[in-house]
Structure 1
Amino acid sequence: MAELVGGALLSSFLNVLFDRMASRRFLDFISGKKNDNELLMRKLKLKLLTASKLVDDAEEKQKKTPEVRRWLDDLKDAIYCVGELLDEINTEALRRQLEGDDEHSPAASSSTSWITRSVFKSSSPSDEFHDSLEPKISNILRVLDLILNEKDVLGLKEGVQHRPQDTTRQTTSRVDDSGVFGREKDRETILKSLRSDDTAGPKIGVLPIEGMGGIGKSTLAQLVYKDVRDDFDVQAWVCVGEELDILQIAQTIYGKIRDETCKITDLDRLSEKLEEVLTGKKFLFVLDDVWSEDYLLWENLMTHFNSYGVHGSKIIVTTRLGGVASITGTLSPHYLQEISEDDSWSLFAKHAFTEDSVIPAHPHLEAIGRQIVKKCQGLPLAIKSMGGLLRSVLNPKEWEKILKSDLWELPNDKVLPALWLSYQYLPPHLKRCFAYCAIFPKGYRFQSSTLISWWMAEDFLQPHGKEALEDVGSDYFDILVSRSFFQHSKDKYGESYFTMHDLINDLAKFVSGEFCLRLEDDHLTVDRNIRRVRHVSSMNFCNQRTQNLGALYDAKHLHGFLRLHSVHFFGLGNKLIDLLLVLPYLRVLNLQGGSIVELPSSIGDLKQLRHLDVSWTSITELPDKVCNLYNLQTLLLEACHRLIQLPSELGRLINLRHLNIRGTNIKQMPAGMCNFKNLQTLSDFVVDKQTGQRIGELKELQHLCQDLTISGVGNIDHEGNALEADIMSNKEYLDRLVLTWRRGDDDTSNHDPENDREVLNKLQPHTNLKQIKIRSYGGLEFPEICPNFVCFPDGGMDAPKLEELRISQCKKLRSLPEQMHTLLPSLRILKVFDCPEVESYYDGNRGNTTILFPNLCELELSRCPKLTEIVPLEKLPRLERVKLRHLESFSGSLAHVESECPKFLSLVHLGIENCPNFVCFPDGGMDAPKLKELCISECKKLRSLPEQMHTLLPSFQKLRVFSCPEVEPFPQGVLLSNLQDLSNLQDLSFECCRKLAANRSLWGLTRLNSLRKLEIFFTEEGAPAHRSHSSRHPQTSESYNHPRQGVETTHLSSIPQNTRMP
């Protein structure tokens, strides 16, 4: 849990510098020389210590005093310069260690210690690097002297710490309903929770309302507080603020109940008084604006509350912090979102216009006003502030000025304090990480892992002990999410991403100052001091827009260039690349998606580079000089399809933590992969015939996590020394493993099945593995002693944690792992594809009541033409989705032969495709109350849909039957008489089912109110005589106007266009 109130932003910068200047590596390198560097460094540290005592006072005063803000920027630039100097020293020390420049260095002496003091004491007096340090340190000292000498003029005091304050936060329970817009659904949800009386739940229900500053949490609480006045015997409103002061809260509540000022200061006595007035009463308390994440303090407070009142009492907690919501809530937290654009306009209009008649009389103001409202992105406080700022102002030029202004430039005393308060409560290390996010354009979608990688490259992450940098970054990121600085969403494919609210983005831009630069729409004309810019981002940059590159030539201290790719793959200017590759302090270089065909060898001169991303480019090779980037932590080469090899000395990059070569055509891994002791992610490990024994190097990569693909497993000789040791069983952090016997065009037809079987047996992963995919395995069966992912390890009682198993393209495989039904209790997804020799994976000898795969949710079997039988689905109690595709020999049943109306209680989707020998559904029907989708196609022998079809109708949303010519029509009236059960049906499609379509006039489709899509295709043979319609392409769909309102698409074939169905 992060501390609630931290120091200034620059405190984090300074703390990192102090740690680095106190490190053994730094002290050994800088001390004992004949020059004055050691003494100068001591002076430098003292100057920085002096500055550290001033930054808290300066950060608070910068909002009101521009001169202080300029002073802070000057100091920040100087601190950056100190960091860059320390980078040079660290990198030179690392180079000497690895290259053995000195005869006493670890590389030369084979010493296992890090850089020892004796190494550098013996350096030559003419050491050019050490000689070059003195003028650099002296120059920084002069700059710091000038900056610190201004402190008295600016009135800056040492050791002054300002506690965050927001005088606007003294809230009450009163609210004007007419000024609230867009909160009807939120209001209903909260009221439902407050009025519920779950006798099985906790005695006191605590309902957190969570959201970013200015979103309207207190307003919503005020609304419901008034609405439930008659539902509770006692009500009290407490504005809590920063400290969770139990005595103050109790005093406020007691004073509200007794309608008097409470002067009792003894908590025990006060608790007794509260118990007297609350005994036998149902109460509602609102604790507004809670910031404390102290769990023990909250438990102490709840101990008092639980001794009062009766069951059904409620407490509402409003907070900006997800941590507060998680520790306080006994009811599900209500996360408050932004209001809609229409509601935003209504709110704005109420505050901007004194009369309703103003809008029609000034339509031009409405047009500008709506654009201003969009800038506020549904944040009520910002909308009200903007409206109030323009109230009674009818000059369009003034409105245009507001539209074009940054929020922080406006004469506004509400929005800035509200969001600034959230920023003030961040500890310094999180302020630094947040300020960096000013590189993101408004609305930009980003992934957590990507941002954490950039933070790591910029040295923002401060681990404790052996804590991994990635774990530290994940903690930082989660805190910023919980405090509403980042907003989590999912795209239409279910992929997670994060964004920043536009006003939060403005806040990041404000606090980052002139050190972050966004090049949007390729514009390089900027009104700022380019020399100070450390971070640059660009959405699109192409060769045609390089005429203004001169603006960047002064950014000599640039730390990062990020190409934030859009949907278009614009070319990246060659001139820009040439410029970037001569910037000595560059740490992050993201050229993803640019039209690059060659990476210059000069990239090896970027000694400080930590993050290099050239994914989705056309490079054919990496220059050998890349191996000189000793600080490199992340190397991303994804989808570089023309890349066929890695540099032979890549193993020299001992600091590498992430290597992604997914989607490349790399044929083999270079020697020395075992040197990557800190490697956290490795997308692929490629094995070829010549270097198959290098698979043994994987044993040293013990920290691998997330995903790993081993390609070319068929090139491993099981008798080689590389597989003697368990190279995979020590990877306890690995979640997903892909073993593929082929790589590219490899021919596996002549592989020895016995060798493949033994190799699989030796590649036993750790039992923590959650997903495994096996592709192109050449064995006839799985090993007798199954790998850890298919059985209990060593006969023990601890079941594997495997949740997903996929087996595909195993052309020789005859059977799946024996007894895997009961030995994989955690399995949730099972998919088997393209295994032409597999005949069965269920022995059929188990009793009718045996539960198999107790947690399996998804089952997919595809292109297994010899498979005759599957596990009875009713034995899979949690099964939700089933797909059976291209199982030409499958003639069995979906259920146990002894079952009568088997139960499929969790089934949601059932799809059966191209199973020509599938004849019927279980006798007696299917008990599937949750079934929403039933899709059947190319089942030539299927005679009927499930019996008792009407029992399935209530949950149906989609019913599709294609090319099943023998399926009998619905019994007369089965649909018509159950229309009330078809209230959810949205998609109904039939194709080439001549018998089924024969009595469609009796289906009563025109009475299906929920239907959104109707498709019926059938041949001329299936069309009634009075419907005949000549057509060369009888199955080509034509438009059909369904009489039910709301139907989006309706298609019939062999029926004249615009003919109405009877």
Structure 2
Amino acid sequence: MGGIGKTTLAQLVYNDVRVKLHFDLQAWVCVSVEFDVLRITQKLYGSIISQSCCMTELDLLQVKLKELLTEKKFLLVLDDVWNENNVDWDLLKPPFESGARGSQIIVTSRNEGVSSVMGTLASHRLMQMSEEDCWLLFAKHAFKNADVPSSNPSLEVIGRQIVRKCKGLPLAAKSLGGLLRSEVSMRKWENVLKSDLWDLSDRERNILPALWLSYHHLPSHLKRCFAYCSIFPKGYEFKRSELVLLWMAEDLLQPKSKKMLEEVGEDYFDILISRLYQVNFVLGWKKKSRSTVSKTRHFSFMKTSDHGFEKFEALHRARHLRTFLPFRPYSPHQYFPMSNKVLYDLLPMLQYLRVLNLSDYNIKELPGSISNLKHLRHLDLSRSSIENLPDTLCSLCNLQTLVLRNCGVISKLPSHFGRLINLRHLDVRGTNLEKMPPNMGKLKDLQLLTDFILDKQSGYNIAELKELQNLHGTLRISGLHNIVHVENALEANMRDKKYLNELVLKWGDDIEDSQKDREVLGKLKPHANLKELVILFYGGTRFPDWLGDESFSNLAYVRLSDCKFCCFLPPLGQLPSLRTLWIQRLNEVVSIGAEFYGSNSNGVLKPFRSLKELRIMNMMEWREWYHIGGNIGEGGMFPNLCGLHVSNCPKLTEILPLDKLPKLEWLELWNLKSFSGSLSQESHCPKILSLSRLEIWGCPNFVCFPSYGRINAPKLVDMDIRTCVKFRSLPEQMHTFAPSLQHLTIRSCSQLESFPQGGLPPALGSLEFHCSKRLFASRTQWVLPRLSSLRKLMIRFEECEVVEDSFPEEGTLPTTLTYLSISNIPNVMKINGKELKRLVSLEDLTILDCPKLRCLPEEGLPSSLSRLRIGGCPLLGEQCQRDKGEDWSKISHIPHITVDGYDI
């Protein structure tokens, strides 16, 4: 039954914090009616890697997905499944079989038969809500104030009658509650109660009557916008900005005196989401009659490799077509063919087109006859192979939106581009444009201009920006080194562009005039409303005074990169809203100190009072980082800093004292050749009360933790130390001072002598370490069996030939282990079966790079084992061959066995 809450319940489980902590990976796919194995696999893979998946070979894709899921405890949700074909399910599920024990798949479906095909557990059948619960849900959405129902008993009486008609379906109750929210007219409530839509026949009830009512009572202008959305495929993830531009192109937005059309569209979108956020569209392809085609106004379809003329021939009769909108499948980087006959003969005939989308098509040019499309408002050529635009494009006087995003070949725009006086959105991100055309200043309605490029001949053109006062979003100005006269930069009038959120200023690699660059940047001072600022390849030796001025009260993100002649950082400490700061490749900066923190008028405010994340990278000459005391009070210079990353700064010897960073949650120190490990100003054990993650990688002079080798970090969960060749010891009394530690990784630290006295923290659940000669010599002090929470143990031996004959020694491993990996023991000949048999919870065993290991133990392996991986063990691998090896009988019961990367 639709609307009963299946998806909502699955979402509650999926998003629960406890569930997220329990599983290594999570992924969610809306399957819907068409059970497309390739699409579902693409979506699962893309959900896990957090980006779109472009692979179209199912076999290769399943191999990749299997690699991601192997040894991982995962939770997958397949939402809204209709298919009962077990062949399709068998084709989809092979990658899932590689996951760790405890992995789960949740399936939601209206169809009981799906459960029998896909399920291994009894299905959970949701029942309708009680009438009282349904009323409470309805009232929550219908009344802003919870007391309103009792203060208006007439509305409550009608409301309870409406709820009775919802028949216990939460979606119906929420939808109607949202429809009547803040509505005090009894007549409106009675109209809903007595509507004929409640009496739809069963055949007509593909959509809940409550949802019909929500639509029926929308204002007419919102109905039109909502109806337009039906051209999108089911499950489509709407982007507000994208949909608003299409509504605007179709004249569906009603202008308001004090609002731009884009803002009106955003309001429409928000209202529809609040009222109809659970409505799904069902689109079906049917053969259209000739008369139907002739009346068609909007044409949308899914792109395929077959886009010959025959597919679109019927559009010859759709002379009043307004929308040509293809959708790409789940392969975002694929080019699709487009017949020249369609491009040159058909499309120019559709003279009423308002929206033309040719994104992802392998077309190199547009026909000159595109000028026939006098009504065209929206042209999208993104990710196409377009090389140039015809001059006739500039006669499209109604064009509002031109999208050239990621058209990597196009290098110039038509010379008469300034004639497109109604253009509001120009997206040229990811293009190869070398310069902007003349007369850009005539495009005074521009709301979005993603890039403005200057070359040596057009450096003066920056003055064209003067008239573009309505720019919103992000503006990237590149080629600033090509400005000849400094005054041209002032003419750009950046300080009056109050709607810009982000400004990117980019010079070139070759610095010709450092003083000119400084003056240019000084005259490009933006409006104080700016939220993000990026400066790249700036050639000045100092930054101008405005950078760091506390009047920039909205500036939340700053990135300074490749400013290779700057000797000092700007006074960014006084920016009141700065939350994220990136500094990289400022190679003349030797020290960071008072000039960085700045001063304010009253001398009391703490520097960087809002900063949450600080990253400093690739600073080749940076040696010293000074902190300041004085009257700034507890919390030092960074009272709210949560994350600090410092990397590839070879001359830096120490960082700020961590006990002066009271809110620090994570610290990453990578490739600091001179860093010696001073993390505290005090001689006593430093208190780092908020720190939960610590990474120290590639710091060859880091020997040990300071202050008697102790670190008081009660919330520390994850510690990772790698390639610190002089690192000698972990913090003393870790079991006391880092009681919450759950994950500890130590790699390539050959001087580590022992684990801390008193043992490792009792909460430790995962331990990975490279075992050197020194560490192996102290193995009797490891006391790993005391770690009652340890589930995952990975030991790799480095330059350690002392391990002979048998490993592991008896009594050295905790019986709680579920995963054990042993690798790189050159002399070991056999596995201690008695010790392994003690591991009654072991599910996953990995043995790697043990060339002399001949066989598995006579005692066999733990019966709990579900996965065995062997690699780089040629003698043992031979013994474990399926049906032939002498050890096959010892492992044949194990479900998943891999030898040298191959499943057997």
Q: Same fold (TM over 0.5)?
A: yes
| In 1: Cα distance, 2:289 partner to 2:578 partner | 54
Are 2:519 and 1:754 aligned? no
Counterpart position of 2:676: 891
CA apart distance, 1:731: 2.6
1:621/1:643 contact within 8 Å kept: yes
Counterpart position of 2:688: 904
Correspondence 1:237-636 to 2 at 5 A: 249-250=150-151, 319-320=174-175, 411=203, 413=205, 415-485=207-277, 504-506=280-282, 529-543=292-306, 545-568=308-331, 569-574=334-339, 575-578=341-344, 579-636=346-403
| In 2: Cα distance, 1:995 partner to 1:757 partner | 56
1:242/1:290 contact within 8 Å kept: no
Q: Secondary structure at the match of 1:768?
A: coil
What amino acid is aligned across from residue 494 of structure 2 in structure 1? M
Match 2:417 to one of 647, 650, 657: 650
Q: Secondary structure at the match of 1:819?
A: helix
Tell me the alpha carbon deviations over residues 691-724 of structure 1, each in whole angstroms, 9 at most, x when there is no partner.
222223333322222222222233335x522123
| In 2: Cα distance, 1:1000 partner to 1:948 partner | 18
| In 2: Cα distance, 1:971 partner to 1:571 partner | 61
Tell me the alpha carbon deviations over residues 879-919 of structure 1, each in whole angstroms, 9 at most, x when there is no partner.
33332222223335233x12633333333332222222333
Closer, same or farther in 2 for the Cα pair 1:797/1:570, shift >3 Å?
A: closer
Counterpart position of 2:538: 777
Tell me the alpha carbon deviations over residues 139-169 of structure 1, each in whole angstroms, 9 at most, x when there is no partner.
xxxxxxxxxxxxxxxxxxxxxxxxxxxxxx9
Closer, same or farther in 2 for the Cα pair 1:186/1:883, shift >3 Å?
A: closer
Counterpart position of 2:443: 676
2:370/2:392 contact within 8 Å kept: yes
Counterpart position of 1:801: 577
Are 2:506 and 1:740 aligned? yes
Counterpart position of 1:819: 596
| In 1: Cα distance, 2:267 partner to 2:780 partner | 62
CA apart distance, 1:961: 2.2
CA apart distance, 1:541: 3.2
1:587/1:608 contact within 8 Å kept: yes
Tell me the alpha carbon deviations over residues 768-812 of structure 1, each in whole angstroms, 9 at most, x when there is no partner.
333223333333443456454798899999954333232334444
CA apart distance, 1:1033: 11
Match 1:880 to one of 665, 689, 713: 665
Match 1:766 to one of 503, 527, 542: 527
Structure number with the higher helix fraction is: 1
Tell me the alpha carbon deviations over residues 431-469 of structure 1, each in whole angstroms, 9 at most, x when there is no partner.
111111111212223322211221111111223113122
CA apart distance, 1:618: 1.5
| In 2: Cα distance, 1:236 partner to 1:548 partner | 49
2:351/2:373 contact within 8 Å kept: yes
Are 2:798 and 1:1019 aligned? yes
1:764/1:787 contact within 8 Å kept: no
What amino acid is aligned across from residue 323 of structure 2 in structure 1? G
| In 1: Cα distance, 2:752 partner to 2:252 partner | 66
1:240/1:287 contact within 8 Å kept: no
Are 2:765 and 1:989 aligned? no
Closer, same or farther in 2 for the Cα pair 1:872/1:677, shift >3 Å?
A: farther
**RMSD between aligned residues:** 5.0
Closer, same or farther in 2 for the Cα pair 1:872/1:564, shift >3 Å?
A: farther
2:703/2:726 contact within 8 Å kept: yes
What amino acid is aligned across from residue 958 of structure 1 in structure 2? H
- Identity across the alignment (%): 42
Match 1:943 to one of 728, 731, 739: 728
Tell me the alpha carbon deviations over residues 969-992 of structure 1, each in whole angstroms, 9 at most, x when there is no partner.
2136613xx54x23xx3x543347
| In 2: Cα distance, 1:240 partner to 1:621 partner | 53
Q: Secondary structure at the match of 2:299?
A: strand
TM-score by length of 1: 0.56
| In 2: Cα distance, 1:324 partner to 1:948 partner | 61
Tell me the alpha carbon deviations over residues 585-633 of structure 1, each in whole angstroms, 9 at most, x when there is no partner.
1111111112222222222322211111111111111222222222222
What amino acid is aligned across from residue 604 of structure 1 in structure 2? S
What amino acid is aligned across from residue 667 of structure 2 in structure 1? V
| In 2: Cα distance, 1:919 partner to 1:912 partner | 11
Match 2:478 to one of 711, 719, 732: 711
Are 2:432 and 1:665 aligned? yes
Closer, same or farther in 2 for the Cα pair 1:219/1:918, shift >3 Å?
A: same
Are 2:456 and 1:689 aligned? yes
| In 1: Cα distance, 2:551 partner to 2:745 partner | 36
Closer, same or farther in 2 for the Cα pair 1:573/1:893, shift >3 Å?
A: same
Tell me the alpha carbon deviations over residues 33-66 of structure 1, each in whole angstroms, 9 at most, x when there is no partner.
xxxxxxxxxxxxxxxxxxxxxxxxxxxxxxxxxx
1:763/1:787 contact within 8 Å kept: no
1:678/1:703 contact within 8 Å kept: yes
Closer, same or farther in 2 for the Cα pair 1:448/1:1045, shift >3 Å?
A: farther
2:399/2:422 contact within 8 Å kept: yes
What amino acid is aligned across from residue 836 of structure 1 in structure 2? M
Moved more, 1022-1031 or 722-731: 1022-1031
Closer, same or farther in 2 for the Cα pair 1:851/1:218, shift >3 Å?
A: farther
Closer, same or farther in 2 for the Cα pair 1:937/1:443, shift >3 Å?
A: same
| In 1: Cα distance, 2:489 partner to 2:355 partner | 38
TM-score by length of 2: 0.64
| In 2: Cα distance, 1:797 partner to 1:892 partner | 26
CA apart distance, 1:824: 3.7
Of structures 1 and 2, the one with the larger relative CO (CA 8 A, separation 6+) is 1
Counterpart position of 2:559: none
| In 2: Cα distance, 1:180 partner to 1:660 partner | 40
| In 2: Cα distance, 1:862 partner to 1:187 partner | 39
Counterpart position of 1:931: 716
Closer, same or farther in 2 for the Cα pair 1:751/1:425, shift >3 Å?
A: same
Tell me the alpha carbon deviations over residues 318-365 of structure 1, each in whole angstroms, 9 at most, x when there is no partner.
63389799999xxxxxxxxxxxxxxxxxxxxxxxxxxxxxxxxxxxxx
| In 2: Cα distance, 1:910 partner to 1:239 partner | 44
Gaps of 5+ in 2: 15-108, 111-124, 166-171, 184-199, 556-569, 599-605, 809-821, 863-904
CA apart distance, 1:530: 1.0
Closer, same or farther in 2 for the Cα pair 1:237/1:837, shift >3 Å?
A: closer
Tell me the alpha carbon deviations over residues 237-268 of structure 1, each in whole angstroms, 9 at most, x when there is no partner.
98997999989745759999xxxxx9xxxxxx
1:863/1:887 contact within 8 Å kept: yes
Moved more, 553-562 or 703-712: 703-712
Q: Secondary structure at the match of 2:619?
A: coil
| In 2: Cα distance, 1:954 partner to 1:479 partner | 49
Closer, same or farther in 2 for the Cα pair 1:936/1:659, shift >3 Å?
A: farther
| In 2: Cα distance, 1:908 partner to 1:249 partner | 49
Match 1:701 to one of 468, 488, 507: 468
Counterpart position of 1:860: 645
Closer, same or farther in 2 for the Cα pair 1:931/1:692, shift >3 Å?
A: farther
